[in-house]
């Protein structure tokens, strides 16, 4: 747990004022809010007032949509005879504030930064990252699908947050965790007060400690060891028996970042080249033009997703590509639970470790 650079306090009324001031100044504020649909769902969206913001329910979409949109224009083209004119998409993103995001969503941002900066800097991603101040809210909304504490995070993890709000009886303690957070607090100093008695924060932390008793014992390192040695294991095919291959798990995931690049015609001569979110659970994802498919069955595709998160990404980028948000488990129509998947795999490794000869005797 990184130590905050400083701690402030903000009253509920002042937070309302802050949102009004931000929106008034033309800043987009993104927060969990009701969509107003028949099922009364809550998701991240742009809000106009604090009254729209819902802080006591878990948003059902991933925050990543605001950094890696489901569809994102890369460039515009226009054909004229044999010539083509390209128009760049303006890389400038207006300043934005994310408010009240789940720590597990926020933690995904710096994890995905690593691949987006792998030798080549992905400007569309970092343009949005740089333009966005992220204010996370420490979470007390854990359910059975959650397992953040099993992958090295916590309901009050500040990873990826510029500011972390921790609920107190009178409002929120505000932990400042980045230079961007320092600048934000300085810029909006009128809304922030000095930190209050630390016991209020401790009371909240005591309440959320141990909310995820099942997750604490997860051993992702053991899972990684097993995955790296069991590429051809029948376990993958077995796991895939339940899977419909719908890809919902990848759509709601805060760290799934795979994409497609397609041209979309707009009339006869013009169009836009777009980056669209893509889903490794689809057979078309890896299908070769000549007909061969390296991941031709669902077992291979599930293996790819689980391996990517718990073995390949840790190996290449030093971080688990999963924040334990549990959204994939909640979204799975077949009831595949990611925590159970990883727990089972870690268990397979534990069994192997137990069976392995420990001494020098044969």
Partner 1 sequence: MNLYQPHLMRVTERIAETSDTVTLRLAFQDPSVAESFAFQAGQFAEYSVFGEGECTFCIASAPTRLPLIECSFKTVGKVTKALSRLDVGDTVGFRGPYGNHFPVDDWKGKNLVFIAGGIGLAPVRCVIDNCLDRRDEFGDVTIVYGARSVGDLVYVRELEAWAARADVRLVKTVDPGGETQDWDGEVGFVPTVLSDAAPGSDNAVAVVCGPPIMIKFTVPVLDTLGFSPDQVFTTLENRMKCGLGKCGRCNIGRVYVCKDGPVFTATALAELPPDM
Give dist(CA 66, CA 68) in Å, integer.
Answer: 6
Identify which of residues 38 and 268 has a Cβ nearer to partner 1 in the complex. 268
Q: In angstroms, rounded to a whole number, what is the distance separating the alpha carbons of residues 28 and 272?
A: 25
State in angstroms the smallest separation of the CB of 260 from partner 1: 6
Rule CB under 8 A: choose which of 110, 152, 271, 347 binds partner 1: 271
Calpha distance 106→109 (Å, rounded): 6
Q: Residue 165: helix, strand or coil by DSSP?
A: strand
Stretch that binds partner 1, among 19-27, 40-48, 256-264, 353-361 (CB under 8 A): 256-264
Answer for which of 234, 289, 335, 360 binds partner 1 (CB under 8 A) is 289
Q: Binding partner 1 by CB under 8 A: which of 265, 333, 351, 353?
A: 265
- Scanning 42-50, 145-153, 191-199, 287-295 for contacts with partner 1 by CB under 8 A, the matching segment is 287-295
308 binds partner 1 (CB under 8 A): yes
234 contacts partner 1 (rule: CB under 8 A): no
* 185 to 67, 115, 189, 192: CA distances (angstroms): 23, 30, 5, 7
Q: Interacting stretch for partner 1, rule CB under 8 A, among 93-101, 177-185, 272-280, 350-358?
A: 272-280
CB of 110 to partner 1, least distance (A): 16
Structure-token match 């909304």, residue found: 141
Given candidates 25, 232, 356, 362, which one binds partner 1 under the rule CB under 8 A?
Answer: 232
Task: Note whether 221 binds partner 1 by CB under 8 A.
Answer: no
Our finding on whether 285 is near partner 1 (CB under 8 A) is yes
235 binds partner 1 (CB under 8 A): no
Q: Where are the alpha helices (DSSP H) in the chain?
A: 12-24, 103-116, 123-131, 179-187, 198-208, 213-216, 220-229, 235-240, 248-251, 298-307, 313-317, 327-331, 338-355
* Candidate list 48, 183, 294, 333; residue touching partner 1; CB under 8 A: 294
CB of 318 to partner 1, least distance (A): 13
Kindly tell me which residue out of 40, 83, 194, 361 binds partner 1, with binding defined by CB under 8 A. 83
DSSP assignments along 73-118, one per residue: EEEEEEEETTEEEEEEPP-----EEEEEE-HHHHHHHHHHHHHHTS
The binder of partner 1 chosen from 307, 329, 331, 349 (CB under 8 A): 307
SS3 sequence, 39-73? CCCEEEEEECCHHHECCCCCCCCCHHHHCCCCEEE
User: Considering the rule CB under 8 A, would residue 260 count as an interface residue with partner 1?
Assistant: yes
Instruction: Count CA within 13 A, CB hemisphere, residue 105.
Output: 29
| Interaction of residue 244 with partner 1, rule CB under 8 A | no
Q: What residues numbered 116-135 form the site for partner 1, per CB under 8 A?
A: 116, 118-124
- Return the structure tokens found at 269: 């001569």
Nearer to partner 1, 120 or 169 (CB): 120
Q: Which residues pair with 264 in a beta bridge?
A: 272
Go through the chain and tell me how many residues it has: 362
Candidate list 75, 190, 198, 242; residue touching partner 1; CB under 8 A: 75
42-47 and 28-34 strand pairing: antiparallel
Q: Is 110:63 a contact under the CB 8 Å cutoff?
A: no
Q: Which residues bind partner 1 (CB under 8 A)?
A: 74-75, 77, 79, 82-84, 86, 88-89, 91, 115-116, 118-124, 231-232, 257-263, 265, 271, 273, 275, 278, 280, 285-290, 292, 294-295, 300, 304, 307-308, 311-312, 315-316
């Amino acid at each position: 747990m990184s130590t905050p650079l400083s701690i402030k306090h903000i009253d509920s009324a002042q937070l309302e004022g802050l949102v009004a001031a931000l929106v008034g100044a033309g800043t987009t504020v993104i927060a969990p809010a009701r969509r107003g649909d028949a099922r009364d769902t809550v998701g991240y969206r742009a809000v106009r007032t604090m009254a729209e913001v819902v802080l006591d329910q878990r948003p059902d979409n991933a925050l990543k949509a605001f950094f890696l949109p489901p569809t994102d224009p890369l460039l515009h083209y226009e054909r004229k005879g044999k010539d083509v004119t390209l128009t760049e998409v303006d890389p400038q993103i207006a300043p934005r504030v994310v408010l009240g995001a789940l720590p597990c969503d926020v933690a995904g941002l710096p994890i995905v930064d690593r691949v987006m900066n792998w030798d080549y800097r992905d400007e569309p991603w970092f343009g949005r990252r740089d333009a966005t101040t992220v204010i996370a809210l420490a979470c007390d909304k854990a359910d059975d699908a959650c397992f953040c504490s099993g992958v090295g995070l916590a309901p009050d993890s500040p990873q990826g947050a510029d500011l972390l709000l921790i609920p107190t009886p009178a409002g929120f303690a505000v932990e400042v965790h980045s230079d961007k957070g320092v600048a934000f607090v300085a810029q909006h100093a009128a809304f922030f007060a000095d930190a209050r008695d630390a016991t209020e924060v401790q009371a909240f932390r005591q309440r959320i400690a141990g909310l995820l008793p099942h997750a604490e014992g997860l051993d992702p390192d053991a899972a990684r060891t097993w995955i790296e040695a069991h590429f051809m294991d029948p376990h993958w095919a077995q796991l895939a028996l339940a899977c419909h291959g719908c890809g919902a798990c990848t759509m709601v995931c805060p760290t799934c970042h795979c994409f497609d690049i397609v041209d979309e015609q707009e009339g006869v001569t013009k169009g836009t080249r777009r980056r669209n979110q893509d889903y490794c659970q689809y057979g078309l994802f890896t299908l070769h033009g000549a007909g061969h498919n390296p991941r031709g069955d669902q077992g291979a595709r599930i293996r790819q997703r689980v391996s990517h998160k718990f073995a390949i990404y840790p190996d290449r980028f030093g971080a688990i590509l999963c924040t334990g948000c549990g959204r994939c488990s909640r979204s799975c129509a077949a009831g595949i639970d990611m925590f159970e998947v990883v727990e089972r795999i870690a268990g397979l490794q534990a069994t192997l470790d137990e069976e392995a000869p420990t001494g020098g005797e044969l």
